[in-house]
Chain A
Amino acid sequence: MKTGAPNPVHNGNAVALAEIPGLSLEDFREQVLQACENNHGRIAALFGQPAGAGRVRLFAVLANDADGQLTLCSTEVTDRYPALTPACPQAHWFEREIAEQWGVRPEGHPWLKPIRFHHSYREGQDAWNRAADTPIQPGVTDFFKMAGEEVHEVAVGPVHAGIIEPGHFRFQCHGEMVYHLEISLGYQHRGVEHALIGGPNKRTIPYMETLAGDTTIGHVLAHCEAVEALAGCRVPARAQALRAIALELERLANHTGDLGALAGDVGYLPTASFCGRIRGDFLNLTALICGNRFGRGLVRPGGVLFDLDAARQTQLAERLELARQDVTNAVNLLWDAPSVRSRFENAGPISRETALELGLVGVAARASGVERDVRAQFPSGLYRFAQIPVSSYHSGNVFARAHVRWMEIQRSLAFIFDQLTALPVGPVRAEAGPLAAHHAVVSLAEGWRGEICHVALTDAAGKFAYYKIVDPSFHNWMGLALALRDQQISDFPLCNKSFNLSYCGHDL
């Protein structure tokens, strides 16, 4: 293990595990805190891995958006260490995860509660001293409480009123006003990270495709780029183009659906109704490529499994143009309706400072004026050659999150049309061989919600010794909680939809 200063690593480049600095706890803390102190640095991932002899190795992946570099560093702890969160709020959720998974207590953490409600993965080590044989009840924790006259608590979920994933929300209200919202998840926890250890094997890809089913392409792409880096595999140019087209189609479908749902939440039915249908048109274009609306079966290590013949390519371009016309027509209605504008502009603000402090990613960050986009700052695959401008807006409210989506829809459309006119020729898949032993790789992809981070560490046999997944929702759930402060409780559905975070991607 190296002890010196951390080396910068690049998105999707493998490094030997021995090259990752093993710092003293003080130096590790210093490294993380310093990186987050200036506004360009942030935590992309922070996680533990059992290191034997009662120890846990903590890894930090620090991202510097300004120069497009990542830093990997690590340290070893036993059962406790001084928490980073008080000085660095971005670490909040990560440290709760470390405590829950490995029974390592971040001392001085102001909000130390489980996030997924499962037993510790280290036998006999529980951050809350719970016995290994007592069942853990989801949503049973020490919730923040407010007291006083006319103060009341509203509890919602896990089963919600619509067709939505399960989660539990506790609002502390004074009249209609929300003082505090606490979000308690874990209902979708199905043990994926744990099951990935020892892979890759035949179950790995289906896990990746269902981490967050609406982000199939985003997650499987991040995974494949990690595997390809470890295998030293060069992906053919045509496959890279098809992957990027699929990733942008995924963004188009989801952003369109979200704009429709936002319209629905303020009672503006024309756009709600049109966009619900147009979202399906985009999904059907993914199905045109690979037979599945969510892109299942398309992306595999080494490339893609389905090619576009000339007729299919023409059909894709023609149908995309029709969808472009329809979505433009449907979404522009929103900006022309004063009632919609008023509702969007007066709900769910997140300041730029808060977005930076929380380490928000994706649409939520960009809507608060934080220019953060993996495609621009840490490009991989086709995005190294074909750029998409970063879409951002300054106001941080529901309107900003809707508007950023609309700008991204236009740019994704233009990007796909560009790619379709100049698709590289050649094969769509290369052989991805065995993975390098004792290596690590950080793989980032800009999914439609934001930054997807996968970190793979291999053992002596080139199998996954550890596989860390950070869905963008992991960074952003706290953003939703803060967006609700001083808001009407009746605006919760609108604010929630403006983030549209993933429960399963968080719960894993």
Chain B
Amino acid sequence: MLKALLARAHQKHRTIGFPDQPPVLPDRLRGRPQIDAAKCPDGCRVCAEVCPTDAITVDEKGVRLDLGRCLFCPECERACPEGAIRFTPEYRLATSTRDALVPGEKEFQLARALDGKARKLFGRSLKLRQVSAGGCNGCEADVNVLNTVVFDLGRFGIQFVASPRHADGLLITGPVTQNMTSALRQTYEAVPSPKLVIAVGACAIAGGPYVGHPEQRNGADGIVPVDLYVPGCPPHPITILDGLLRLLGRLDSTC
């Protein structure tokens, strides 16, 4: 017992100050990519050609990047001869709609908070059932990590529960394989209404590295209605937490 107490003193208090303080992130983190189309030479399609998931479109309207498909791999940034595309340290990526993940020339619209009644219901207590549906266990691992003392998800009233019957919504990872489609539908149906669906990671949003494979469904959209999209492969835990807090209206709308 004494050893356990001494160990507790050694291990210290480790919960991060986020969201009151900015998160500490790796300096090489590949956050939200930025495209400076003015630098693009005419007819150059190098970034689109190297992109493993065809997240980049180059046409007469310019260069557009679909953050839902993006794996945040370093390929486009490395291939661009003009330095027109680069990954910024911006970790805030969650959106309320699929379209918002393809901002094009428009300003990037972060997820908006739930409105009146839903916010009243879920704002201070959100119970989620996690469904892994064909993912690689990367997103699952970085969702799970929110339960550690570092992120301490419980302090926001958010909790992962063991049964869909106890849940206010689903957090889905993976492209939704054919073999998980029925289980996902049944789990969704078992959650009492009103309910939320959160799609975490490139797979759950758009099929990720497996986009187009007949063995999967290119994400959760179309099987269940999605309320929050958190892009990344996998998203950094802070990106997921930011998305959840944004949805619940727990973040100052200016940040």
Interface residues of A (CB under 8 A from B): 116-118, 137-138, 158-159, 161-166, 186-192, 195, 202-203, 205-207, 209-214, 216, 270, 273-274, 276-277, 279-280, 284, 287-294, 296-297, 305-306, 325-326, 329-330, 333, 336-337, 502-504
In the complex, are the beta carbons of B30 and A214 less than 8 A apart? Answer: no
B73 interfacial contact with A, CB 8 Å: yes
B7→A163 contact, CB < 8 A: no
Q: Which residues of B contact A284 (CB under 8 A)?
A: 26
- Name the interface residues of B183-222: CB closer than 8 Å to any CB of A: 183, 187, 208-210, 213-216
Contacts of B231 in A (CB 8 A): none
Interface string of B74-88 (1 = CB under 8 A from A): 110010000000010
Interface: B34 (CB within 8 A):
no
CA distance A329 to B75 in the complex (A): 40
Stretch at the interface among B45-53, B59-67, B113-121: B45-53
Given A163-B130, A214-B141, check contact A291 B30 (CB 8 Å): yes
With A277-B14, A280-B145, A284-B26 in contact, do A163 and B160 touch (Cβ < 8 Å)?
yes
Q: A161-B163, A165-B135 are in contact. Are A187 and B183 (CB under 8 A)?
A: yes
Q: A190-B216, A287-B28 are in contact. Are A329 and B11 (CB under 8 A)?
A: yes
Query: What distance in Å separates the Cβ of A205 from its nearest Cβ neighbour in chain B?
Result: 7
Interchain Cβ contacts under 8 Å between A and B, 11 examples: A158-B183, A159-B183, A187-B177, A190-B215, A202-B75, A213-B135, A213-B140, A214-B137, A270-B4, A306-B28, A333-B4
The chain B residue sitting closest to A201, CB to CB, is B52
Partner of B53, one of A116, A206, A276, A330: A206
Give the distance in Å from the alpha carbon of A284 to the alpha carbon of B137 in the complex.
17
Please determine whether A294 and B234 come into contact, CB atoms closer than 8 angstroms. Answer: yes
User: Which of these, A189, A195, A336, contacts B3 with CB under 8 Å?
Assistant: A336
User: B224 at interface (Cβ–Cβ under 8 A)?
Assistant: no
Q: How far is the CB of A275 from chain B (nearest CB, A)?
A: 9
- Please name all residues of chain B whose beta carbon is closer than 8 Å to the beta carbon of A279 when the two chains form the complex: 145, 148
Residues of chain B contacted by A290 (CB below 8 angstroms):
28
Instruction: Looking at the assembled complex, report how far the CB atom of B49 sits from the nearest CB atom of chain A, in whole angstroms.
Output: 8
Determine the distance from Cα of A326 to Cα of B149 in the docked complex, in whole angstroms: 14
What is the interface of chain B mostly: helix, strand, loop, or mixed? mixed
Q: Is the CB of B53 within 8 A of A162?
A: no
A137 to chain B, nearest CB (A): 8
Residues on B with beta carbons closer than 8 Å to the beta carbon of A205: 52, 73
> Do B162 and A162 have beta carbons less than 8 Å apart?
yes
B223 within 8 A of A: no
Question: CB < 8 Å: which of B73, B141, B162, B210 contacts A191?
Answer: B210
- Which one of A137, A207, A210 has the greatest number of beta carbons of chain B within 10 Å? A210
Complex: how many Å from CA A337 to CA B162? 29
Specify which of A116, A162, A202 is in contact with B50 (CB 8 Å cutoff): A202
Contact A210 B179, beta carbon cutoff 8 Å: no
Instruction: Report the bound CA distance from A325 to B7 in whole Å.
Output: 11
Chain B residue nearest to A216 in the complex (CB): B138
Which residues between 77 and 119 of chain B lie within 8 Å of chain A, taking CB atoms? 78, 87
Partner of A326, one of B11, B28, B150, B162: B11
A336 to B7 CA separation, bound complex (whole angstroms): 12
For the complex, is B8 an interface residue (Cβ under 8 Å from A)?
Answer: yes
Q: Which residues of chain B are near A502, meaning CB under 8 Å?
A: 137
- How far apart are A332's CB and chain B's nearest CB, in angstroms? 8
Contact of B213 among A191, A216, A306, A336 (CB under 8 A): A191
- Contact residues in B for A116 (Cβ distance below 8 Å): 179
- Judging by beta carbons under 8 Å apart, are B147 and A276 in contact? yes
Which of A163, A189, A291, A337 contacts B179 (CB under 8 A)? A189
Pairs A-B, 4 closest by C-beta atoms: A213-B138, A213-B136, A291-B28, A161-B162
A291 touches B137 (CB 8 A): no
- How long is the Cα–Cα vector from A297 to B52 in the complex, in angstroms? 12
Q: Is the CB of B137 within 8 A of A212?
A: yes
Q: A213 contacts which of B50, B141, B213 (Cβ < 8 Å)?
A: B141
Q: Decide: A187 and B180 in contact? CB cutoff 8 A.
A: yes
Which of B1-47 touch A at CB < 8 Å?
Answer: 3-4, 7-8, 10-11, 14, 26, 28-30
Q: Which residues of B contact A213 (CB under 8 A)?
A: 135-141, 234
A261 nearest in chain B by CB position? B144
**B70 CB to nearest chain A CB (Å):** 11
Cα distance, A216 to B73, chains bound together (Å) = 13
Q: Is the CB of B144 within 8 A of A163?
A: yes
Which residues of chain A are near B30, meaning CB under 8 Å?
Answer: 291-292, 297
Nearest-CB distance from A260 to chain B (Å)? Answer: 9
Q: Whose C-beta in chain B lies nearest to the C-beta of A297?
A: B74
Chain A contacts for B50, CB-based, 8 A:
202
Distance in angstroms between the alpha carbons of A280 and B151 in the assembled complex: 11
Q: Does B133 contact A (CB under 8 A)?
A: yes
Distance in Å from the Cβ of A276 to the closest Cβ of chain B? 4
List the B side residues contacting A333 at CB < 8 Å.
3-4, 7
A330 and B174 CA atoms in complex are apart in Å by 33
**Alpha-carbon distance A297/B30, docked complex (angstroms):** 10
Question: Per a CB cutoff under 8 Å, which of A118, A296, A325, A337 touches B73?
Answer: A296
Taking the closest CB of chain A, its distance from the CB of B193, in whole angstroms, is 19
B175 proximal to A (CB < 8 A): yes
Docked-complex contact B52 and A291, CB < 8 angstroms = no
Q: Which residues of A contact B233 (CB under 8 A)?
A: 206, 210, 296
Partner of B208, one of A187, A210, A337: A210
Please give the distance in Å from B136's CB to the nearest CB on chain A: 3
List, in ascending order, chain B residues with CB within 8 A of A325's CB: 10
Which residue of the partner chain B has the closest CB to A274?
B11
Contact of B248 with A by CB under 8 A: no
